[in-house]
Structure 1
């Protein structure tokens, strides 16, 4: 019997205790990878995920990935445990529903620190521990191509626009080290982060905008991420994959 496609690989995923991050951790573990579960404030969920995967193949690390010192701690603990990083998924983020008038300087700084600074410096600190053939998958949003589906996401989309530009340029940078870098841009997905601050009427309207008449599921986004983490994606780099069930095209 053939081994699982990611056997022997080590994946570091932030925001991995819930939502898309948790689904991705479970999917990559199913594919054979060991997983470092970065989380900020939910130790019980992170430790439960470690138990599910097995403590020989999973490690939970609490870190505020908007701060470089915390990022360095996260990377060090991952390498101390597993010796390397093969797959990096900076998934942690915030999705404030704020338009121009509502945005404060504090809101702006927090969002950009978590959504942009975090992935930037996590990539910087992880790359020295990543061999040729490794993969980085960043997270954007399909709102970057269709922001009309959900109102008041100016600040969020601004941060994810930076991620999409980062994808195009950083992919060339890390390619010199033999590392592939791509971005997944989910459409509306049924996570705790998505539901926060939305009325049931708005949720139903957004789900109804899909030709499939539903929200995406975290596992469906994780499947898309998995596509970009294996050897079959070795000639795919600098690309943005919109995973939204044709809802936002």
Structure 2
């Protein structure tokens, strides 16, 4: 099976390509660095021509109110090129609970991406994942100083990027879901608790202060970022990943 992986050189994309090749598929990574621009359309038709499946793992360069236009333009271009190229399955990676947090520009933008795909001309699959373990270091920098890190008490269920990539590759090689598969890590933490575990493991002496106004996840209400009951639970625990 020939699979075009758009955004195939990034954290998830590179692993998806490796997994697909290991399974015997012809997986080809595409990105700006390979001459494919999903906003201008440069190189896009050639990238998806003859592909059985397109996997879109590209991401907006910002999380602000510019992100909806990125996903609107990129998905419009990708779907048009894919339909012209005879693609039979289109896969995107999204976020668990993404449609439950309209307060966040980026989550509204990802919801828009999902809706464009679902309303489009190609059979599709949406893989929604919880927050990546690899992003925790970045989260700790958002509202920190030399002595403290301020984090909200938001429940999250972190998942390893390797587990996400394995699932995306599996879905890409299968039949279109024409729906959503939710995936999550095995453990639920509050964000402040996860911050303390992370700092301790890294030998960082800063303290974590609960601040329900701090950072992007302060806008999240309740447990909407926790996997729903029908989710697939990945095997990697956060403490094992840290070690």
What TM-score does the superposition give when structure 1 sets the normalisation length?
A: 0.62
**Structure 1 SS opposite 2:110:** helix
Map residues 133-148 of structure 1 onto 2, 5 A cutoff.
Answer: 134-145=88-99, 147=101
Alignment partners' CA distance in 1, 2:134 and 2:4: 20
| Structure 2 match to 1:6 | none
TM-score (norm 2): 0.63
Tell whether the 8 Å contact from 1:119 to 1:138 is kept in structure 2 after alignment: no
Residues of 1 paired with 2:38 and 2:18: CA distance? 21
Query: Could you say if the C-alpha distance between residues 121 and 97 of structure 1 is closer, same or farther in structure 2, counting changes exceeding 3 Å?
Result: closer
1:165 matched residue in structure 2:
115
How far apart, in 1, do the equivalents of 2:75 and 2:112 lie?
Answer: 11
Distance 2:4 2:48 in 1: 7
Q: 1:141 to 1:32 in 2, by over 3 A?
A: same
Q: Judging changes above 3 Å, is the alpha-carbon distance between structure 1 residues 122 and 185 closer, same or farther for their aligned structure 2 residues?
A: same
> Post-superposition shift, 1:226?
2.5
Quote the offset at 1:225 in angstroms: 1.6
- Which stretches in structure 1 are left out of the alignment for 5+ residues? 1-8, 44-60, 175-179
Please state if 1:188 is matched with 2:131. Answer: yes
2:55 to 78, 89, 105: 89
CA contact 2:131–2:156 (8 Å) conserved in 1: no
Change (3 A) 1:164 1:77: closer
Mapped contact 2:101–2:108 kept (Cα < 8 A): no
Q: Is the Cα contact below 8 Å between 2:129 and 2:182 reproduced in 1? A: yes
1:12 equivalenced with 2:4 (yes/no): yes
Question: Are residues 169 and 14 of structure 1, via their aligned partners in 2, closer, same or farther at CA, if it must alter by over 3 Å?
Answer: same
Question: Residues 78-227 of structure 1 correspond to what in structure 2 (within 5 A)?
Answer: 79=49, 84-94=50-60, 96-98=62-64, 103=65, 108=66, 111-130=67-86, 134-145=88-99, 147=101, 154-170=104-120, 173-174=121-122, 180-191=123-134, 195-196=137-138, 198-199=140-141, 201=149, 209-210=156-157, 215-227=158-170
* Superposed CA offset, 1:44-100 (max 9, x none): xxxxxxxxxxxxxxxxx23231223x2xx1331554xxxx111101111127454xx
Structure 1 residue matching 2:133: 3-state secondary structure: coil
Structure 2: unaligned runs, 5 residues or longer: 187-225, 229-243
Query: In 1, distance between residues paired with 2:98 and 2:75?
Result: 18
**C-alpha RMSD of matched pairs (Å):** 3.0
- Which of the pair has more CA radius of gyration? 2
> If each structure's helix is expressed as a fraction of its own residues, which one has the higher value?
1
2:35 alignment partner, one of 39, 53, 62: 62
2:173 corresponds to: 230
Cα offset, 1:116, TM superposition: 2.9
Residue of structure 1 aligned with 2:45, choices 68, 75, 89: 75
Report the Cα distance in structure 1 between the residues aligned to 2:137 and 2:76, rounded to whole angstroms: 27
Aligned residues: 183
Secondary structure in 2 aligned to 1:136?
strand
